[in-house]
Amino acid sequence: MKHKDIIDKMTIEEKAALLSGKGEWQTWDFERLGIPSIFCSDGPHGIRKQAGAGDHLGLNPSLPATCFPTAATMANSWDPVLGEEIGRALGEEAAVQGVDIVLGPGLNIKRSPLCGRNFEYFSEDPYLAGKMAAGYVRGIQSSGRYACPKHFAVNSQELRRMAMNAVVDERTLREIYLTGFEIVVKEGKAKALMTSYNQVNGTYANENTHLLKEILREEWGYNGIVITDWGGSNDHIRGVAAGSDLEMPTPGMDSARQLVKAMQDGKLSEEAADACVDRMLEAVTALTKHADGGSKPEDFDKEAHHALAKKAAAESAVLLKNEEKILPLKTGTHVALIGDFAFDPRYQGAGSSMVNTIKLDKMSERIGEYDLTVVGMARGYKRDGTADAVMEKEAVDLARSADVVLYCFGLDEMSESEGIDRTHMRIPQNQITLLESIARVNENIVGILSAGAAVEMPWHVSLKALLHGYLYGQAGAGAMLDIITGKVNPSGRLNETYPISYEDTPAFKYFPSEERNSEYREALYVGYRYYDTAGMPVLYPFGFGLSYTEFKYRDLTIDRDGAEFTLQNAGKQDGAEVVQLYVAMKEGRVFRPAKELKGFQKIYLKAGESRRVRIPFDDKTFRYWNVRTNCWEVEGGIYTIMIGANCQDIRLSAETKVAGTTETYPYYTNRMPSYYSGYISQVEDKEFEELLGYPIPSGKWRGDLTVNDAICQMYYAKSPIARFAYHKLTNMKKKSEDAGKPDLNILFIYNMPFRAIAKMTGGMVSMEMAEGIVTMVNGHFFRGLGRTISGFFRNKRQNRKYLKQITGK
- Active site amino acids: 229
Question: Ramachandran region of residue 104, left (φ > 0), alpha (ψ -120 to 50) or beta?
Answer: left
Q: Measure the CA–CA gap between 274 and 387, rounded to whole angstroms.
A: 62
Q: Measure the CA–CA gap between 516 and 163, rounded to whole angstroms.
A: 7
What are the two backbone dihedrals, phi and then psi, of residue 3, each rounded to the nearest 5 degrees?
-125, 40
Residue among 41, 86, 110 nearest 472 (CA): 86
Q: Measure the CA–CA gap between 132 and 119, rounded to whole angstroms.
A: 14
Q: Measure the CA–CA gap between 289 and 281, rounded to whole angstroms.
A: 12
∠ at Cα 316 (314, 322), nearest 5°? 80
Residue among 402, 389, 397 nearest 446 (CA): 402
86, amino acid identity: I
Q: What is the DSSP string of 9-46?
A: TS-HHHHHHHTBBSSSSBB--BGGGTB---BEEE-SSS
Q: Which are the contacts of 769, defined by CB distance < 8 A and separation ≥ 6?
A: 757, 758, 787, 788, 791, 792, 795
- Cα separation values, 74 from 44, 85, 313, 317, 646, Å: 11, 12, 8, 9, 17
244, amino acid identity: S
Residue among 740, 667, 756 nearest 255 (CA): 756
Residue among 20, 47, 56 nearest 230 (CA): 56
Q: Which are the contacts of 369, defined by CB distance < 8 A and separation ≥ 6?
A: 481
The DSSP code for 808 is -
Q: Which are the contacts of 502, defined by CB distance < 8 A and separation ≥ 6?
A: 113, 114, 424, 425, 456, 508
Q: Measure the CA–CA gap between 123 and 494, rounded to whole angstroms.
A: 9
Q: Is 725 exposed, middle or buried (0-12, 13-18, 19+ CB in 10 A)?
A: middle
